[in-house]
Every structure is written in C-alpha cells, then in structure tokens.
Amino acid sequence: KNEVEQSPQNLTAQEGEFITINCSYSVGISALHWLQQHPGGGIVSLFMLSSGKKKHGRLIATINIQEKHSSLHITASHPRDSAVYICAVAANTGNQFYFGTGTSLTVIP
C-alpha cells in the first residue's frame, strides 16, 4: 500500500507547454514537499506546503487538504525542466516521511 501516489509516472512535453503533475496521499499530514531530482542524484526542494498555493517563477504548487491532493504546475516548460519530480509528505502521526515514486518529465525543444 502506497501512502503517496503520483501521476503520471512519465511525461513528455513540447517546450512551452503547460504541465501538471498530481500527488494524492492517504495519511494525515503536517506538510507536503515537492522535490526535483536531476540525473546524477542531486535533489532540490521546490516547495513546502501545508495549505493553499505557492508560486515561484514558472512553478506553482497547490494543495487541497480535505481532498488529500496536491498538484505541481509548470508554465511555459523548458528543456531544463527535464527531471524527476517527487512528492513527499510528512505524516502528522508517527512523524514519518512518505515519498511518491516520482514523475519523470522530459521537455523536448
């Protein structure tokens, strides 16, 4: 049983397209993190959310606590956005962290 489900698993887009990655979770959470991992392993934290919406440049993250769902949007996608995007939740019981399996995004010029 996966506490965090992401979709899609793989995504190919043309440069300039609007992209949405979805994350659903089944546990109560204190916070949700969106992470970006480039080939070679380095992980960068994009957002930490506990409610509402956050925007950073071309990236937007939203969360609906009642529906246990979050989305990551990329506007005007660019080849440098090609990476694996991972959703992670900090559960509010047991202080556990759970991860989605990631969405592999390829943006074609």
Partner 1 sequence: KAGVTQTPRYLIKTRGQQVTLSCSPISGHRSVSWYQQTPGQGLQFLFEYFSETQRNKGNFPGRFSGRQFSNSRSEMNVSTLELGDSALYLCASSFGTGDNSPLHFGNGTRLTVT
Return the number of the residue (43 or 108) whose C-beta is nearest partner 1: 43
CB of 16 to partner 1, least distance (A): 29
Return the number of the residue (2 or 12) whose C-beta is nearest partner 1: 2
CB of 109 to partner 1, least distance (A): 28
Residues that bind partner 1 (CB under 8 A): 29-31, 33, 35, 41-45, 48, 86, 88, 90, 92, 94-102
CB of 45 to partner 1, least distance (A): 5
Nearest in space to 25 (alpha carbons), one of 91, 75, 79: 91
For residues 27 and 87, the answer to whether their CB atoms sit within 8 Å is no
Return the number of the residue (17 or 99) whose C-beta is nearest partner 1: 99
Q: Which amino acid is at 58?
A: R
**Angstrom distance (rounded) from CA 84 to CA 56:** 18
> In Å, what is the CA distance from 31 to each residue of 49, 51, 75, 88?
6, 8, 24, 9
